[in-house]
Amino acid sequence: MRHGNKNRTLGRVRSQRTALMRGLAVSLIRDGQIKTTIAKAKELSPFAERLVTYAKEGTVAARRKAATALGEPKAETITKLFEEIAPKYKDRNGGYTRVIKMGRTNGRDEAVIEYVE
């Protein structure tokens, strides 16, 4: 039974799901917006918003938390998150990402996830 299991499995085991979320989050930080399926975008949104919340703290501990959540990415990724993305949202309490549904493409429902300006 799936009592209390609220996350989507996306047809993957936990390690694959974690790797997928990390990869999507790094791409979102690097590019500002990415195109993916609706289910993946909806799962990525809280993951990415948590990273921005860490980045708003700006502490060394927050950098380490973000790096761990992203699977120890390149230094440029963490730097961009903390020095370019987070300062834009210093007066905003959550809601840093937006999911825009693009309709059905190639047999799947696609969406664009991006940071709110």
d(CA 81, CA 29): 6
Query: Residue range 6-23: average pLDDT?
Result: 96
User: In percent, how much of the chain has pLDDT > 90?
Assistant: 97
For 59, the domain range is 14-115
Residue 4 pLDDT level (bands cut at 50, 70, 90): very high
* Contact indicator for 34, 27 with CB cutoff of 8 Å: yes
Looking at the structure of the chain, the number of domains it has is: 1
Per residue in 31-79, pLDDT (tens digit) is 999 999 999 999 999 999 999 999 999 999 999 999 999 999 999 999 9
Q: Which two tokens stand for residue 84?
A: 């370019």
Percent of the chain's residues with pLDDT above 70: 100
Cβ atoms 90, 56 nearer than 8 A: yes
Between CA 71 and CA 108 the distance in angstroms is 28
Nearest to 16 by CA among 24, 4, 26: 24
Other Cβ atoms within 10 Å of 25 Cβ, number: 23
Instruction: Classify residue 3: in a domain, yes or no.
Output: no
DSSP assigned state of 10: T
Domain holding 86: CATH number?
3.90.1030.10
| 4 within a domain of the structure (yes/no) | no
Confirm whether 57 is domain-assigned: yes
